[in-house]
Structure 1
Amino acid sequence: MISPYGMKHFWMLWFVKSSYSNSSCKMIPSVKRLLTSGTAVNYSRSVAPIIKAEPTRGLVDESVKIEITHLLPNEQITLHSKLLSEDNDWWMSYAHYVSDVEGNVRVSHDKSWGGSYTGQEQMGFIWSMKLAPGSREGMRLRKRDVTTPLSVTVSVHSGWISHNFDQETVLASVVLERFYMAPGTTRLQFRNGRVVGTLFLPPGPGPFPAVLDMWGGGGGLVEYRAALFASRGFAALALAYIRHEDLPPAKEVFDPSLSYFEEAFVALESHPKIAKGRVALVGLSLGFTVALLMAAELRNIHPKCLVCISGSHFNLIKDGNSILFQDANDHESKFKFAEDGAVIWKYIPLPFTDPESMVKLDKIRCPLLIICGDDDQNWPAFESAFEIQNLMKVAGNDHLLTTVVYPQTGHLIEPPYTPHFRSTRFKLHSTNKIVKVLWGGSTKPHSDAQEDSWKKILAYLENHLVLEHPAVNQSKL
């Protein structure tokens, strides 16, 4: 005997089948699958779709599991994500999915069939974000206030759509809060003599292993990586050394003796919450060169290890000036330009023929991790990595070197799930002129590199700052 509920499906399938048999129109593929599968399915929504996210609140380097339930079987849906940056620019991504026979979509397991990314990508809804249509061009998504989270709204729409999301009906939505500071992490303004920065301390009494964190030629005080280091158990000083209102004039900061950076290291290591002798240097781009110079030239400090990202052993710091930003006109003959007009600076130091313009790598006496992409169009990081390897081999200290090169990866290798920027606007220090700079990389491999390199960096720091010295008090999440 067929129940009333079963009878409803019986008549629905009979009607669809008989209508198809008596007409010349083509059967909808999803209906055809239902008829051939022998599964009776209710096409009406008796329960509203639900979107689940775990966790809804977490650190920005944590992955999120998203599942949509109570959809129709084999239903086409669009997963749409958006956030409003601190610059008041909207960022967004979208992806097309098809629910399974039970009406579920599991983003971590199911494939996206189109949109901002394709394939099985658990975190694609964030790392594939681009500026929304109508936004200013060439902007970069960077967090300035690390005490507040990024708020990402994830919504589900019926059908496969690619625009006008605000005009479409939302079946379900959830807001994710993505934090840079774990609960209990402390943020302190750091002023010691000339040294300007922000100190982040993990939860707990300490003392903690520490990182002196140095960004590149863009300048300012960049805190988000240091905040994440502290959230993962390492005290971190985000150091300002270019374009900050509290810094002395550039020539005094870029002292040929590197005294500013020496002062910063000593001040950090002398802090009562820092484990003496357990301080690493982390530098990206220009910070890469500074870290090498500190380890090679400063005899009064002893970094435990170096992590150098997307930079070169070409010495930018001479006579108190940065060659790239102060004397760019002297190198215009080496500028190249992409089809869209973005400037490529990577050829300025090439070829590496003048030993006096290079960091003296034979003086490096601590472990060194180099991370770079083979499509870096901003600086010859890829070429430098192999040159450094050869020079250190000749010097007999290549046993200290670990090199990781990522394919189709550009210059801006940042913490996990940060959207990829192939080119953005950039402000030159000497003239305040805005130019478009080509960083390089392709979105999917670059994003994979960011996720993998962050894991390697944390493991490297733990191996050299913690595991070798188990007595160090390191807070863990």
Structure 2
Amino acid sequence: MAGIRHCPLLSVRPLRCLVDEKFEVVVQFLLPSQPVTLHALLQSEDGDFWEAFGHYKSDASGSVKVSEDVSLGGSYDGLEPMGLLWSMRPIPGSRKGLRFRNKDVFKPIEVHISVYEGHLTKWFKEKQALASVVAERWYSSPGVQRIDVREKGLKGTLFIPPGPGPFPAVLDLWGGGGGLVEYRSALLASHGYITLTLEYIGLKDASGTPQNVDNDYFEAAFSLLKQHPQVCPDRIAMMGLSFGVSVTLGMAAYSSEINPKCVVCVSGITVCETQVCFDQMGLIQCPILLIVGEDDQNWAAAESAEDMKKMMEQAGNSHLLTVLSYPHTGHLIEPPYCPHVRSSNFKLIEAKTTVVVLWGGQMVPHSKAQEDSWQKTLAFLEQHLYTHDTVASKSN
């Protein structure tokens, strides 16, 4: 009827969830075949704005369901239920070389999702939205504890799932960027693993003096987990990213104090001479999940994976190795739905300068690889660390 104004209803379900969970975005009460733009906007902890948008056309009932309808254009196209997140990019005019990372794991990422009339590509701030909603994405589930670790010369953060335990544990080692990176550890704790993330590159003591890090440092961290009253001491894994892979493999092979139940290696290589590497891979006696991107422009991770596979075949322990190799995928393989960046600023700790590093990857296949590899990482950890008779239920 003439004069009746349609009031679209925009809903996001669940409105509050972990960052690795899918959500459903639905618009109702539009006109039939009405062109609209769905727009997602968030502000990083550094104050930078990131956005994504998709063009849709409502069905005969005046509805758009992102999980079932195709985007006709925008920052992503096709049937992409989570495209509003993984296709995010800095808004026009932003600083160069940005990479989205969250430091405060107890603060939600607030994603402002809006629906606009027509197919827009810019000037969203100047337009009036038909409807808007704010969704919260969390790295930590309710009840997860965060504990600073400053004993035995260590600098790290321990995350403990809710419940009495006992729980399996993960020692989480990041790469050459240094610092204390917590978001993956918080997310693992949200899935039922006591997780210790460790700072070990560019480490300084309380007086600011550079601190030497050797095998004893990592052995102390592993020992801390084994001795924790809520940890199952024989069910501890190691997880390494980039340079953290080299540390993980070296410790798993040579340390008499570190005996991981399994290891997960992401975008890394073995840093050693050929014969030493052969000996190292032959000494590893626990399951390995090796995740690499075939367009890694930072390290030759895919080629190294082939070498490791051959070495383990010759050593007779290749049955322990699972390789996930993803085409058109770069170095920064993060938990799912994190915005992909092909390059970004990177601080060189020793040189005390910042450079632009090419990480590689194409947005769509890289984003698919992040989702697939994370699901398989969780399945791998559950397979090797959780049993019904010795470990507390993950539903606690």
Q: Is 1:270 matched with 2:270? A: no
**Residue equivalent to 2:389:** 470
CA distance in 2, matches of 1:233, 1:405: 27
The CA RMSD over aligned residues, in Å, is 1.6
Match of 1:364 in 2: 284
Q: Could you say which residue in structure 2 is the equivalent of 1:70?
A: 29
- SS of residue paired to 2:380: helix
**C-alpha distance in 2 between matches for 1:470 and 1:231:** 21
Task: Report whether the alignment pairs 1:448 with 2:373.
Answer: no
For the residue of structure 2 that corresponds to 1:360, the secondary structure is helix
Q: Separation in 2 of the partners of 1:189 and 1:131?
A: 32
How many residues align? The count is 395
- From 58, 61, 64, the equivalent of 1:102 is 61
Distance in 1 (alpha carbons) for counterparts of 2:3 and 2:390? 62
C-alpha displacement of 1:252: 1.1
Q: Distance in 1 between matches of 2:338 and 2:384?
A: 26
SS of match in other structure, 1:126: helix
After TM superposition, the structure 1 = structure 2 runs for residues 377-396 of structure 1, keeping only pairs within 5 Å, are 377-396=297-316
CA contact (8 A) 1:45 1:72 kept: no
Which of 172, 178, 187 is the equivalent residue of 2:131? 172
In 2, Cα distance between the equivalents of 1:134 and 1:71?
A: 33
1:136-183 deviation per Cα after TM superposition (whole angstroms, max 9, x unaligned): 010111000001000000001100010110111110000001111111
Q: Percent identity of the aligned residues?
A: 50
The answer to whether the 8 Å contact 1:192/1:267 transfers is: no
Q: Answer yes or no: is the 8 Å Cα contact 2:202–2:350 preserved in 1.
A: no
Match of 2:294 in 1: 374
The TM-score normalised by the length of structure 2 is 0.96
Counterparts in 2 of 1:378 and 1:250: CA distance versus 1, 3 Å: farther
Query: After TM superposition, which residue ranges in structure 1, 4 or more long, deviate above 4 angstroms?
Result: 42-45, 244-251, 356-359
- Superposed CA offset, 1:241-274 (max 9, x none): 1235557865611x2xx11111110111111111
- Tell me the residue number matched to 2:335: 415
Q: Given residue 367 of structure 1, which amino acid in structure 2 is its aligned partner?
A: P
Output aligned runs, 1:20-419, within 5 Å.
46-246=5-205, 252-253=212-213, 255=214, 258-315=215-272, 354-356=274-276, 360-419=280-339
Shift of 1:360: 1.5
Task: Give the structure with higher Rg (CA).
Answer: 1
* Matched letter for residue 330 of structure 2: G
CA distance in 2, matches of 1:51, 1:451: 26
**2:393, 2:175 → 1: CA distance?**
28
| Paired position in structure 2 for 1:429 | 349
Shift of 1:299: 1.3
Superposed CA deviations along residues 105-129 of structure 1, whole A, max 9, x for unmatched, are 0001000000100001111001100
8 Å CA contact retained: 1:152, 1:177 = yes
- The amino acid of 1:273's aligned partner reads Q
Does the aligned pair in 2 maintain the 1:95–1:112 contact within 8 Å? yes
Give 1:391 deviation, angstroms: 0.3
The equivalent of 1:4 in structure 2 is none
Task: State the Cα distance separating 1:195 from its structure 2 match.
Answer: 1.2
Flag the 1:470–1:454 CA change in 2: closer, same or farther, 3 A: farther
Partners of 1:458 and 1:43 lie apart in 2 by: 55
Residue type at the aligned position of 2:33: N
Which residue identity lines up with residue 54 of structure 1 in the other structure?
R
Per-residue deviation at 1:393? 0.5
Residues 420, 43 of structure 1: CA spacing in aligned structure 2 closer, same or farther, 3 A cutoff?
farther
Which runs of 5 or more structure 2 residues have no equivalent in the other structure? none
Give the superposition deviation at 1:216. 0.5
Give the Cα–Cα distance (whole angstroms) in 2 for the partners of residues 250 and 366 of structure 1. Answer: 34
Counterpart residue type for residue 219 of structure 2: E
